Amino acid sequence: QSVLTQPPSASGTPGQRVTISCSGSSSNIGSKYVYWYQQFPRAAPKLLIYRTDQRPSGVPDRFSGSKSGTSASLAISGLRSDDEADYYCSTWDDSLSGWVFGRGTKLTVL
C-alpha cells in the first residue's frame, strides 16, 4: 500500500485536458515539493515536473503541476497519442526519511 494515492487509470481523447490526482499527508505532500515522472513501456522514468509546478527544459507547457493542502495534481492539456504512458507522483516523506511514490496512473488516449 503506497503512501501516496493515485487513480490506477485515466483516459481522454486527443486535444482534451486530463488531470491526474495524487493524495498524501502532512508529512509528505502537505509540507514538501511534489514531483511527477513519466514512464513509457520498457523505458526508464523521466522527470516531468519538479518543485510542484516547474517544468525541466524540453518538457512542453502542456504539462502542468499544482498542489493544494495534502493533494497534488498533474494536468495535461491538448492531449496527444504519444502522451500514453504511466505517470507517477513523488515527494519526500519526513516520517519515513525517504522519497515516496504513488502507484502510478496509466494514461490512455482514446
Q: Could you tell me the three cell numbers for 96? A: 519515513
Ranges within 26-45 binding another protein (CB under 8 A): 32-33, 35, 37, 43-45
For residue 81, give the DSSP letter.
G
CB 33 to another protein: min, Å: 6
- x-marked contacts with another protein along 51-90 as a string, rule CB under 8 A: x----x-------------------------------x-x
Angle, CA 110 vertex, CA 34 and CA 52 arms, to 5°: 10
CB 72 to another protein: min, Å: 14
**Rounded CA gap, 15 and 18, in Å?**
10
**Rounded CA gap, 39 and 105, in Å?**
10
Q: Which residues pair with 104 in a beta bridge?
A: none
CB 14 to another protein: min, Å: 27
Residues that bind another protein (CB under 8 A): 2, 32-33, 35, 37, 43-47, 50-51, 56, 88, 90, 92, 94, 96-104
